[in-house]
Amino acid sequence: MFQYVITVEPLGLLYGSAGAFLSPANLVGRAGRRFPPDAPTLSGLYYNGASEALRRELGEKLHLAGPFWAEQEDPLNFYVPIPWTRVVGEDSSDEWTIADHHWQRTDPDLKPAYRWQPINSWKAPLRNLQKNQARKDPWQFVPALHPHLKDDERCVPEQDGLFLENAAQMCPGTCLVYLASHPLSAGWYRFGGESHVVQIGCRDLPERSKAMALLAEPIDRAFALLTPGIWGSNRFSLRHPQHPDFPKPVLMLTEKPVPFRYRIAEQLGRGRYAVPAGSVYVLSQPLDQPWRDWNSDWFPREGHSYKRWGCGLALPLEIEGLQTLQGV
């Protein structure tokens, strides 16, 4: 399904705001923070300038997944979220295990300090992550004041005329990464909110790469999400697929839900809550198939199937004590 790695290198700042509100103590609107952009944001670049025939093909077959990030010199070994079963602190680490049908760990007070790990180290021992492979977010937020001008005058409106954007600045030598089913021409594009300029690169994802081998590996009874998981209907956001063929989760490790919304062809999708990337599922029965072969009916549809946006992209996970849940 995924044959290409799309890199996004900012030429300056990127848009990192979400929502907006007007502070009662300040007349300057202040935005929330949300970064990096989800996979649907990238899809607009494919449609820009595409022929009608190509648009129809993209509408049926384009699959994207992300966001991830990488060192610019090694984009194929991109960084993915660390599963919640692994807690990597500044000076020590810990791991959730299963005992008597419950989660347990030896150092419950340890807080995660690192969020990302290279995909090629997905099965590496925890001690290796803690030493030299785990990374923090490679970006920082920079407040930037944007005046909203009147349509017919070069002056700020009397109300809500100022907007404090939370721009995002990538660390030197890093870039955002997305997986794609279709190639994208390299070049400069306007990307995301406020249309900041970025340089797009496109590389083949070799069939014999470690990432491809992992993505093709069947999931047994435990997996971790690499991207947000959106389940349920237009009315209800749920924590796992509701299809009768999807095994019942018996244990989960997750955090509070994250908002997920996209805009395509000037149409804004319905806002949803997603299970955050890094969440871990333990199932009652083996799935015996990789994410790419999951039934499309397991994913919500809103015009497009959410599987096209890499919803809940998952990799198999080994958890100590999982065998004690046999027969559930």
165 - beta bridge partners? 144
Question: For residue 90, how many other CB atoms are within 10 A of its CB?
Answer: 11
Question: For residue 188, how many other CB atoms are within 10 A of its CB?
Answer: 11
pLDDT on residue 295: 94
pLDDT on residue 173: 95
Task: Spell out the residues 6+ positions from residue 289 whose beta carbon is closer than 8 angstroms to its own.
Answer: 218, 219
- Segment 126-173, tens digit of pLDDT: 988 877 789 999 999 888 776 666 677 666 666 666 667 778 899 999
Peptide bond into 300 cis (omega under 30): no
pLDDT on residue 75: 95
pLDDT on residue 249: 93
Q: And the tokens for 312?
A: 């809940």
pLDDT on residue 326: 65
DSSP category for residue 83? P
pLDDT on residue 154: 63
Give the end-to-end CA distance of the chain in Å, rounded to a whole number: 33
The domain tally of the chain equals 1
Q: Which domain covers residue 9, as residue numbers?
A: 4-325
pLDDT on residue 95: 95
Cβ contact 230:198 at 8 Å: no
pLDDT on residue 34: 77
Enumerate residue ranges in the chain where pLDDT < 70.
Answer: 17-32, 146-150, 153-163, 194, 263-269, 326-328
CA atoms lying within 13 Å on the CB side of residue 206? 6
Strands (E), 181-235: 187-191, 196-204, 222-225, 231-232
94 - beta bridge partners? 87
